[in-house]
Amino acid sequence: MQKTALAMLLLAATAPAQPVYTNADVSSMKARYVPRSTSRLPARYPNEFDSRTVQTPKYIPWMLPYQEWTEEYKAYFQRHSHDPRVELEPTLICMHYTVTDNAQSVWEGFNRGCYMSNGNKGAVFGHVSTHLIIDKDGSVYQLLPFNRRCTGAYGVNHKAISIEMIATTEPDLLSRLHQVWSSFCVVKDLMKRYNIGPSGVIAHYEVSQGVSVVPDYLDYNDTEYPDRYPAKYFRSDPGPTYMSWLRTYLQKNPP
C-alpha cells in the first residue's frame, strides 16, 4: 500500500504541469511561427459554404475588466495614434488566430496583462485584448463592447474590431469548417452593422506588413519602424488560405 502511495506521489510530482501562456509567449510564438505546407489540406475554397444559411451570431458576453484599464488605454492610444480616446467607431475588421488551443487561457492571459513591446522604446506593462474569441466549437465570446478600442493589432487598433479564433496553426483552423463558418457569419454581421466593405476585412499578417498593404496603418510610437512591424514582430495569422476562403465567400455572398 505504502509503496503504491509513494509511487503515485512520485508520478504526480513528475507529471508535466499544464503550460501557462502569457501574452508575451503568444506574441513570440506568433512571430516565430512559419507556416507549414498545406498540401494535405483542402486548400481550395469549400463550395459547400455557398449553400449554407447565414446565422446571426450569438455574442456570448465574457467581458474583460476593460473599465479598469481606461487610463492605461488612453495612454496607449495617445502614444500610438496621438488620439487618447478609448471609444471605437469601427471601419476595419482584423482576423487572428491565437496559436494556443484554449479559450480560457487566452482570456486569462488578456486579463493578467504582460510586458508588451513599446515600439523602439523597450517594453511597457499593459493588457492586450480583442473584441471576440471564436472557440473551436464555433461559440462566439465577446470580451469588449464593439464601441471600445482593443489592443489586439497595433497599427490598426484605433479603427479595428479584432477577432481571435482558437487554433494552433492555419491548417488546424482550416480543419474545423464549423469554426471557419462561424467566423464568416460574424464577419458578415459586423460588416452589415458597421457598413464595412470587403477591403476593410484584413488579416493580422497584412497589418504587420504595414501601410503599403493596410493604408490605415498608424504608429507614432515606433520612430524606427513607423510604417510596419519590425521583422521580429512579423505576424502570420490567420494565414493566406483562410483569408482567401473568407474573401471568396464574401465576394460570392456579399452581406
Q: Which of residues 214-243 bind Zn ion (CB under 5 A)?
A: 237
Q: Check: CB of residue 20 under 8 Å from CB of residue 102.
A: no
If you search the block for the grid coordinates 489592443, which residue do you land on?
Answer: 151
Nearer to Zn ion, 49 or 99 (CB): 99
Measured CA to CA in angstroms, residue 36 lies from 23, 96, 168, 170 at distances of 23, 17, 12, 9
When asked if residue 131 is in the footprint of Zn ion (CB under 5 A), the reply is: no
- Give the whole-angstrom CA distance, residue 18 versus residue 152: 25
- Give the whole-angstrom CA distance, residue 180 versus residue 185: 9
Q: Which of residues 80-119 bind Zn ion (CB under 5 A)?
A: 96
CB of 237 to Zn ion, least distance (A): 4
**What ranges make up the beta strands (E) of the chain?**
59-61, 92-97, 114-117, 123-126, 132-134, 140-142, 160-165, 201-203
Nearer to Zn ion, 223 or 244 (CB): 244
Nearer to Zn ion, 52 or 216 (CB): 216
CB of 3 to Zn ion, least distance (A): 50
Annotate each residue in 197-216 with x if it binds Zn ion (CB under 5 A) or - if it does not, as one string.
-------x------------
CB of 190 to Zn ion, least distance (A): 17
Pairing label, strands 92-97, 160-165: parallel
CB of 153 to Zn ion, least distance (A): 6
Nearer to Zn ion, 49 or 136 (CB): 136
Residues that bind Zn ion (CB under 5 A): 96, 204, 237
